[in-house]
């Protein structure tokens, strides 16, 4: 008689079964990852199209199936669709679970782009926000809690809160929530690396105070006090920029060879843009406007440019071949942001549209550079 108790299965049989199950999970995970990456790329195209419409560079017919709605969805698609999908994918890969979270976030952006009723994308992003919070909680519960993990979890909660604020028409609170998602996620990641450094006590306390300004700004914005919320929000941005320029590890690594040096250059440029954005925001005393785009394009995309070469191998297991040319799109983005700043302050519509094309060209150039670097890495060791 054959004993069917699990413990009685021959080790070789058990190993084979485990291997088959792992293989099936691995294939499913890879497929989910590829689909999520495609959805993120779609979000990028949709978001940039909507942005070009808003900036006056193209007509509404050029913004995809949603037409005029694409302009209205621009910010939501960029933050919830593109960054929500990418950040959730990165966490899901690291935790080896929850790959449905980036899929739902990306599906929401696709629905928005295809002109679905607004409830569709918003429900998707609420569900994805809950999913990302749950992923962080799972990481803390099953692995280890840390301060930087808590900051990143707060970022995911800010995403969820921002989407809920958008559903009830609280635009300012939504802006703080969505941008807070990105700011806190980046802040948490950088705080993880600054564990390496010996920080004075006041620096550690200051960091906690800076990140605490984000939920404060959200609460104040939700209460309708937009001007005070702008002070709190841009104050947090200014504080974080100064903190990172002073204490982050990137300014010590800019001489590093290869991608490590590339990352450091991008991060330092991003911190500088964060400071410029915060200064502009404090001067204009409002949450949106040109300061918001200096933040998202200057700071957040510099983080993307900087981290892509080291995150792509984690997601694709391919190592992009180093090229110093990958730093050039950062310069184009910077130049286009200077043009944007001049256009917004001078009211020059043509320059504003040209700046918009410059932003898109910088992002497209960087994406093409990374794809080429990955292509050249074919056959290299995994």
Partner 1 sequence: MDVIPIPALDDAVVLGALRDVFDPELGENVVDLGLVEAIAIEPGHLRVTLLPTSATCPMAELLLDDAHEALGRLGARYGVDTEAVMDWDGVWDPQRLSPELRERFGW
Q: Is residue 30 a contact point for partner 1 (CB under 8 A)?
A: no
Least distance in Å: CB of 313 to partner 1?
5
How many Cα atoms within 13 Å fall on the side-chain side of residue 124?
A: 24
Binder of partner 1 out of 311, 328, 353, 364 (CB under 8 A): 311
Could you give the string, one character per residue 144-163, with x where binding to partner 1 holds by CB under 8 A and - elsewhere?
Answer: xxx-xx--x-----------
How many residues sit close enough to partner 1 to count as binding (CB under 8 A)? Answer: 42
User: Whose Cβ is closer to partner 1: residue 292's or residue 303's?
Assistant: 303
Nearest to 60 by CA among 47, 71, 46, 73: 71
CB of 130 to partner 1, least distance (A): 17
User: Which of the residues 93 through 122 are near partner 1 (CB under 8 A)?
Assistant: 93-95
Nearest of 300, 290, 284, 269 to residue 342 by alpha carbon: 290
Output the 3-class SS for the chain. Answer: CCCCCHHHCCHHHHHHHHHHHHHHHHHHHHHHHHHHHHHHHHHHHHHHHHHHHHHCCCCHHHHCCCCHHHHHHHHHHHHHHHHHHHHHHHHHHHHCCCCHHHHHHHHHHHHHHCCCCCHHHHHHHHHHHHHHHHHHHHHHHHCCCCHHHHHHHHHHHHHHHHHHHHHCCCHHHHHHHHHHHHHHHHHHHHHHHHHHCCCCHHHHHHHHHHHHHHHHHHHHHHCCCHHHHHHHHHHHHHHHHHHHHHHCCHHHCCCCCHHHHHHHHHHHHHHHHHHHHHHHHHHHCCCCCHHHHHHHHHHHHHHHHHHHHHHHHHHHCCCCCCCHHHHHHHHHHHHHHHHHHHHHHHCCHHHHHHHHHHHHHHHHHHHHHHHHHHHHCCCCCC
The number of beta carbons lying within 10 Å of the beta carbon of residue 134 is: 15
* CB 249 to partner 1: min, Å: 7
Part in contact with partner 1 (CB under 8 A); list of ranges 20-28, 110-118, 139-147, 219-227: 139-147
Among 140, 235, 251, 289, contact with partner 1 (rule: CB under 8 A): 140
Q: Which is nearer to partner 1, 151 or 341 (CB)?
A: 151
Q: Which is nearer to partner 1, 253 or 284 (CB)?
A: 253
Note whether 143 binds partner 1 by CB under 8 A.
Answer: yes
Nearer to partner 1, 208 or 283 (CB): 208
**Site track 45-84 with partner 1 (rule: CB under 8 A), x = hit:** ----------------------------------------
Residue 197 vs 208, nearer CB to partner 1: 197
Q: Least CB distance from residue 263 to partner 1, whole Å?
A: 6
Rule CB under 8 A: which of 192-231 touch partner 1?
A: 192-193, 195-198
Q: Least distance to partner 1 from the beta carbon of 72, Å? A: 33
Q: Which of residues 119-138 bind partner 1 (CB under 8 A)?
A: 135-136
Residue among 116, 249, 328, 364 that touches partner 1 (CB under 8 A): 249
Q: How far is the CB of 92 from partner 1 (least distance, A)?
A: 10
| 259 touches partner 1 (CB under 8 A) | yes
Q: Which of 74, 91, 293, 359 binds partner 1 (CB under 8 A)?
A: 91
Q: Note whether 112 and 81 are within 8 A (CB).
A: yes
Binding-site ranges for partner 1 (CB under 8 A): 90-91, 93-95, 135-136, 139-140, 142-146, 148-149, 152, 192-193, 195-198, 249, 252-253, 256-261, 263, 307, 309-311, 313-314, 317, 381-382
């Amino acid at each position: 008689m054959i004993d069917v108790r699990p413990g009685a299965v021959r080790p070789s049989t058990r190993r084979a079964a485990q291997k088959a199950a792992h293989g099936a999970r691995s294939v499913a995970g890879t497929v989910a990852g590829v689909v999520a990456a495609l959805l993120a790329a779609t979000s990028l195209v949709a978001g940039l199209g909507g942005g070009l419409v808003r900036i006056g560079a193209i007509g509404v017919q050029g913004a995809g199936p949603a037409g005029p709605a694409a302009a209205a969805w621009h910010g939501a698609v960029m933050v919830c669709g593109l960054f929500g999908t990418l950040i959730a994918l990165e966490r899901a890969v690291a935790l080896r679970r929850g790959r449905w979270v980036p899929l739902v976030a990306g599906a929401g952006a696709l629905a928005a782009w295809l002109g679905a009723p607004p409830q569709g994308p918003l429900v998707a992003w609420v569900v994805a926000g809950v999913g990302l919070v749950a992923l962080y909680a799972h990481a803390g519960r099953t692995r280890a809690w840390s301060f930087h993990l808590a900051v990143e979890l707060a970022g995911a909660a800010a995403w969820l809160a921002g989407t809920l604020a958008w559903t009830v028409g609280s635009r300012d609170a939504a802006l703080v929530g969505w941008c807070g998602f990105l700011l806190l996620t980046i802040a948490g990641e950088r705080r993880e690396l600054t564990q390496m450094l010996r920080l004075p006590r006041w620096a550690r306390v200051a960091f906690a105070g800076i990140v605490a300004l984000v939920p404060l700004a959200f609460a104040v914005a939700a209460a309708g006090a937009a001007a005070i919320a702008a002070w709190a929000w841009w104050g947090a941005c200014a504080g974080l920029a100064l903190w990172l320029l002073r204490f982050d590890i990137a300014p010590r690594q800019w001489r590093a060879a290869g991608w490590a040096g590339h990352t450091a250059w991008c991060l330092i440029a991003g911190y500088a843009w964060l400071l410029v954005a915060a200064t502009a925001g404090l001067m204009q005393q409002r949450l949106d406007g040109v300061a918001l785009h200096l933040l998202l394009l200057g700071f957040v995309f510099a983080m993307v440019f900087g981290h892509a070469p080291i995150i792509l191998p984690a997601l694709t297991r391919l190592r992009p071949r180093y090229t110093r040319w990958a730093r050039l799109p950062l310069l184009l983005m910077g130049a286009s942001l200077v043009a944007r700043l001049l256009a917004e302050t001078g009211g020059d519509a043509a320059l504003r549209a040209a700046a918009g094309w410059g932003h898109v060209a910088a992002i497209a150039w960087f994406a093409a550079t990374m794809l080429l670097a990955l292509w050249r890495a074919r056959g290299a060791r995994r």
